[in-house]
Amino acid sequence: MELDVDASERFLMKRLAGKVALVTGGARGIGAATAKVFAQHGAHVVIADILDDLGTNLAHSINGRYIHCDVSVEPDVESAINLAITWKGKLDVIFNNAGISGSDGSTTAIDMEQVKRVISVNLNGIIHGIKYAAKAMIKGGQGGSIICTSSSAAIMGGLGGHGYTSSKAAITGLVRSCACELGKEGIRVNCISPHGVPSEMLVSAYRRLLGQEEMGVEEVSKIVGERGSLLKGRAATVEDVANAAVFLASEESGFITGHNLVIDGGYTSGCSTMSFIYQ
């Protein structure tokens, strides 16, 4: 049987043509890279963030829309989804990506106020996104794709502070739970767990933990390439995560739900932990 298009032609196709997507935390880092790639694949993209200048400029560059949104504030997330619906009449994809790192340090010195803040953004923010995206998708009647950012810290100890790790581990359980409910509506719910991606958040963490305030993306990428991957010399990039999000947003992943897609170069399969997190 002959195929309509060969593999190379399929790669060049706009895999999200006509879809309406919301990206939280979309002004920089993984979120910004994903917003760009979504737009390149034909999606109409709404960027939701608290970094107004960056978000506005990026939205303008991709012919999208921007809205100020603190995902820990439930009405902010509802407003972001309403913007997508007002703009294009529907919501097909949400990438619940906004997150913060919180503090590191020993179990015996946990600051519960900081933990509450991390959970309010990293976990509650995703619950808000799933809640209102699901409402919109159910009303639209065409199903949809809900994607949430977790972390390698959710599946392997020693990779993040305790508050951060707790919030990210909870996301994987939440995704499975919501996938069980929303599947009957044709809504797929998945998460992505990146590792060692030299975004602004990771660079800041390395600066703090290693006491090297001048450390930049290149230095962090080198460390990850040498120690944070089974693919030696190959560091993660924000585009690696963005491309995974495109796959989960597209019809190519139409039979995948309740899944945690780990983007780690094999690290969690066979590498030791970075125990200096607790020192």
Residue 147 burial by CB count (10 A; 0-12/13-18/19+): exposed, middle or buried?
Answer: buried
Render 69-93 in DSSP notation, one character per residue. --TTSHHHHHHHHHHHHHHHS---E
Any catalytic annotation for residue 66?
no
Catalytic residue among 66, 132, 164, 206: 164
Q: Strand, helix or coil at 102?
A: coil
The per-residue b/e assignment along 54-90, b for 16 or more CB within 10 angstroms, e otherwise, is bbbebbeebebbbbebbbbbbebbbbbbebbbeebeb
Contacts of 126 (CB under 8 A, 6+ apart): 71, 96, 148, 171, 174
Q: Sort residue 258 into left (φ over 0), alpha (ψ -120 to 50) or beta.
A: left
Report, as residue numbers or ranges, the catalytic residues.
164
